[in-house]
Chains A and B, each alone.
Chain A
């Protein structure tokens, strides 16, 4: 059986290029170029490394405007076999609930056996989308994954997960959603010919909300996230004191109220 591995990727502002406006002290995001979310590069590498071992087809998907196409080209350049742009005005304003629903439906439509995602995106950092995809589809999920061992005979994917204080080795039945730990899978460089092909001759397939049958279930109106308010945290005033020797240190520490 050929596995279909779907990788979720997203375009984000390049956080290396987000400057601080020296006059106002505010983050200047607008001038930052759009790049692939860095943890997604780990996801692509993880997916391609599965495909190195088992008979598999790797397909990248992104949800966003046509402007986001370069992240799909980058995925194809790295080695993905195909890519899908999930795009629709109806998606505007979607939070993690409709976003994970959309990606879940797309993964289903693509007959995914494995969905691989990055740990989180650098522009919103919720980490909710991969488990959301699994929940919407009722599939297994493996999060904070540091190593993957495909088991095609058993129809399972075995993962080493980072858990507090150690590691856990778990096997999940397919289909499964994997969120890989950031920094654990070093992305392979794109081959020259693939890169030329992806950037110049490749066109991703497209999917709309309607085609996924979720036109009424996405967008700002159905997004449950509500921002209650924003507060700027004032820096706490710190007290400094220099003591002459170690013995002199005990009293001041003892004096600090907890």
Chain B
């Protein structure tokens, strides 16, 4: 044998690598929740193994939208983060098949630092960067590795099994941050399989504008790093389904997509691709996307069961965070998940570090994570809107089909140019809304039912 490699320290044959018990915690999935947990634990001196099934963190992530950063800002220096644009305008728009009635909000405050902690991001880039921050803090990242199950001793979770040979690795704590399609957590009976009424399917395209400079700035009326978040409801957005459409501006691209209940996709035989194409070709949407070229297409599921669907968060040796824990808020006005993912990852990481210091791995010790979440905005917000999903489902035809048309008709009447007096137009406009929504009585009931969305 050659002297060059004789007895070298780095010799893999001598080392017989075995990392069982080398890590304090294994995090399953390097998305926002997983990386936030890994970073928080690494910052507190724990040895963390972060396992990601994609070729890089974010490679499997399909979310395209707004990242809310109040907690991330505490964890990392956002200066270097790959943020696309800050959100300077939110626009809520009701679409019938050919009408639009919209409300736009653009407070001056949003144009100033810290921009209401709302930025558009491309998750392929952001997640990779965020996981890098966890690695810089000392976490070990392993990619292209799928966790297939949990290792247990009795009830206690003592590690994970992966799809690789020699693929089990033991560690006292496991953080399940595997996303909405949580096969590991479900397989291990740590959470129930979500029913399809509570799951949304989302399809998204990233579009670029190959012709011309400043197309995004000009079309969406923006300066510098300002961006928009447009939300669309009604049958013009997602047909007969319960959901909505969206447009977000990135640096040089826009993310356009639809999200609606899996139940509707199945029952109405409404494919995400067709639905997205219909939305993109709506007369009020198409001009925004004219001459755009698709650079990426993707689809995902979103848990929308709200507070009731949140599983037990703490188990012996394991916790569940982010989408896997159903921590997504979608009430029509607020569409949030990223902030909850980070918040849950942060609290989980913090609680595990505390429990580790006390040598505890039992569910009782990790319950503190669930309690922290309950006291945080995450669960409070979910509970606040728990009633909404069902109510909207009951009123669905009214809200998504009748109302968009009624408001558009009212607008058309109110501003009609003919030779009749304005009083006549105003009364017809009023009637268009009042009649469609069940008379004054119906209108009052409706207002009462939904007042809690905004008050």
A191-B164 contact given A57-B13, A82-B12, A200-B140, CB 8 Å threshold: yes
For residue B212, CB closer than 8 A to chain A, the reply is: no
For residue A7, CB closer than 8 A to chain B, the reply is: no
For residue B394, CB closer than 8 A to chain A, the reply is: no
Instruction: Determine whether the beta carbon of B13 is less than 8 Å from that of A192.
Output: no
- Bound-state CA distance A205–B163 (Å) is 30
Instruction: Determine whether the beta carbon of B140 is less than 8 Å from that of A110.
Output: no
Instruction: Determine whether the beta carbon of B5 is less than 8 Å from that of A205.
Output: yes
Which residue from chain B places its CB closest to the CB of A81 in the assembled complex? B13
Instruction: Determine whether the beta carbon of A195 is less than 8 Å from that of B8.
Output: no
Interface majority SS (helix, strand, loop, mixed), chain A: mixed
Instruction: Determine whether the beta carbon of A110 is less than 8 Å from that of B17.
Output: no
Instruction: Determine whether the beta carbon of B18 is less than 8 Å from that of A192.
Output: no
For residue A80, CB closer than 8 A to chain B, the reply is: yes
Instruction: Determine whether the beta carbon of B167 is less than 8 Å from that of A191.
Output: yes
Which of the four size classes fits the interface of chain A? 20 to 34
Instruction: Determine whether the beta carbon of B2 is less than 8 Å from that of A110.
Output: yes
Chain B nearest CB from A159 CB (Å) reads 24
Chain B stretch 107-161: residues in CB contact (< 8 A) with chain A: 140, 142, 145
A84-B4 contact given A192-B164, A193-B169, CB 8 Å threshold: yes
Instruction: Determine whether the beta carbon of A111 is less than 8 Å from that of B2.
Output: yes
Chain B nearest CB from A175 CB (Å) reads 13
A residues less than 8 Å from B4 (CB atoms): 84, 109-110, 205, 207
For residue A158, CB closer than 8 A to chain B, the reply is: no
A4-B2 contact given A80-B12, A195-B142, A202-B12, CB 8 Å threshold: yes
Instruction: Determine whether the beta carbon of B165 is less than 8 Å from that of A197.
Output: no
The number of A-B residue pairs with CB atoms under 8 Å apart is: 83
A residues less than 8 Å from B220 (CB atoms): none
Chain B nearest CB from A214 CB (Å) reads 15
* Interface residues of B, count at CB 8 A: 27
For residue A71, CB closer than 8 A to chain B, the reply is: no
Among candidates A80, A111, A196, residue contacting B140 with C-beta atoms closer than 8 Å: A196
Chain B nearest CB from A47 CB (Å) reads 14
- Bound-state CA distance A117–B13 (Å) is 21
For residue B168, CB closer than 8 A to chain A, the reply is: yes
- Bound-state CA distance A205–B18 (Å) is 22
For residue B49, CB closer than 8 A to chain A, the reply is: yes
For residue A59, CB closer than 8 A to chain B, the reply is: yes
Instruction: Determine whether the beta carbon of B17 is less than 8 Å from that of A22.
Output: no
Chain A stretch 1-34: residues in CB contact (< 8 A) with chain B: 2, 4, 22-23
Instruction: Determine whether the beta carbon of B164 is less than 8 Å from that of A189.
Output: yes
Pick the most buried of A189, A190, A191, A193: most chain B CB atoms within 10 A of its CB.
Answer: A193
Chain A nearest CB from B200 CB (Å) reads 31
Pick the most buried of B140, B165, B210: most chain A CB atoms within 10 A of its CB.
Answer: B165
B residues less than 8 Å from A169 (CB atoms): none
B1-18 to A contact mask, C-beta < 8 Å, 1/0: 110110010111101011
Add 19 more A-B contacts to A82-B13, A84-B5, A197-B17 (CB < 8 A).
A22-B210, A57-B1, A81-B12, A82-B8, A82-B12, A109-B2, A110-B4, A190-B165, A192-B164, A192-B166, A193-B169, A194-B12, A195-B164, A196-B19, A196-B140, A197-B12, A198-B12, A203-B10, A204-B10
26 A–B contacts, CB within 8 A, in A order: A23-B210, A76-B12, A82-B10, A82-B11, A82-B12, A109-B4, A110-B4, A111-B2, A190-B165, A191-B165, A192-B164, A192-B165, A192-B167, A193-B18, A195-B142, A195-B145, A195-B164, A196-B142, A197-B17, A198-B12, A199-B142, A201-B15, A202-B10, A203-B10, A204-B10, A205-B4
